[in-house]
Amino acid sequence: MRLVAIGLDHTKTPAALREAVAMSAERLAEALRRLRSQFPGYEFTILSTCNRVEIYSATDIQHADPALPKLDGIALSEFLADFHGLNPRELQAHISIYNDEGVVGHLFRVSSSVESLVLGEGQILGQVRDAYQTAASAQSVGWILHSVFQHALKVGKKVRENTGLGVGKLSVASVAVDLAREVFDRFDDKTVLVIGAGKMAELALTHLMGLKPGRVVVVNRSLARGQQLAEQFGGIALGYDQLSQALVDADVVVSTTASAEPIMKKDVYARIQKARRYRLALILDIALPRDFDDRIGQLNQVMLYNVDDLKSQVERNMAQRRGGLNAAQNLIETETANCLAALRHQRHASSVLKNLGDHADQIREVELEALFSKLSNVSEKDRKAIELMAHRLQNQLLHEPRAALRSNAKSPNEMQLSLPAAVGHLFGLGQGFAYRRNTGRKLNSGPKNKVSD
């Protein structure tokens, strides 16, 4: 069994080169098709995100044809360069190559977001799942990568749930939304006001829409730009001359302007708060320089947080995630060893299943030959009936052992069984089993065609 992977990621590869090798869904399908054609007998999965492009491959060398082209990290690198029309030398200084255990460990770290640009981010697990499903749909994965990727998805989820690596948000905008959730218990009756219409405002609205607010308002100096942003999120836009009234109506305010001076002073907002009848107001000032006078936070029923307050929470969240890093790495190492052991066990079980089938075929064919040599006058119709019965008998006798071996290959049982218990387990004895012939079953009649159990 052989596993090889290559990758270019944010730690070693310039953004321009990562963009050059990134693949759309259509290009992914084409790359998988070409890999299967160029390297028959191998399995492939490709992971392509904004921060990494990786190719995973595997084969069972026990069954590989020696005449087939061999696959290693260099061959995969050359394929990637050729696929994108690049010089292989452009990739050499930036590409990472992983083999066997290193492939499994690397994939588990990736799916757990240990190697992400943002430690503990949750998007990568979905991207790994999409890559696996795309490869499965393209029929480019076999039993090895099926096992490895399914295990990787479980490990990624387990790391996030058990180590605290995914706890807390790491962007100012997402922390602001978490803060809003702590202040208000519902948002379907709340008005959210965003001041400004730039990138920060768009990001803030993207996060805020997860709260499903009752009303969204955008106030911007350029009304046209404000309308464009508001329509994107199902809100309304107002001109800057209507800011005071918008603040009267708003429950949650996110201010993101690029103004050199504060846009709201304490005495002005004091009159606004009076007009609001002192309803609770949450103001998230994420502008630099600040948009709201700090003293506004001293007013009755006003909660004001500036960008420094939110960044402090981001730093606390990051420190908490780093605290879970050792636990995550230990879990990944354990699961890597478990996965490799399961792969070896599954491969051994597959070999035993093949040998068992071959052994039974040989016995059946020898016995049929001996029988027909004594029944020289048997008709062709009777001959086929006897061969069919022999097939049925063989498959029925081997059904339980095959099922037991396959089940154990997926979930190895460490319990040691005595020989009588092992025989009983393999053949399903002592379980109230009574053979019932499936007369509706469709079977092949030729002696060389195996009947599936």
Q: Do 144 and 3 touch, CB atoms closer than 8 A? A: yes
**β-sheet bridge partners, residue 238:** 219
3-state secondary structure of 335: helix
Quickly count: other Cβ atoms within 10 Å of residue 381's Cβ. 8
Q: How far apart are alpha carbons 219 and 20 in whole angstroms? A: 39
Q: What are the distances in angstroms from CA 235 to CA 84, 199, 349, 419? A: 42, 17, 60, 73
Burial (CB count within 10 angstroms: exposed 0-12, middle 13-18, buried 19+), residue 15: exposed
Contacts of 252 (CB under 8 A, 6+ apart): 180, 184, 187, 190, 191, 192, 193, 208, 213, 282, 284
**Nearest C-alpha neighbor of 304 from the set 331, 332, 273:** 273
Quickly count: other Cβ atoms within 10 Å of residue 208's Cβ. 23
Q: Report the greatest alpha carbon distance in the chain.
A: 114
Q: How far apart are alpha carbons 291 and 308 in whole angstroms? A: 13
Catalytic residues: 50
Q: How far apart are alpha carbons 288 and 258 in whole angstroms? A: 7
Strands (E), 307-442: none
3-state secondary structure of 315: helix
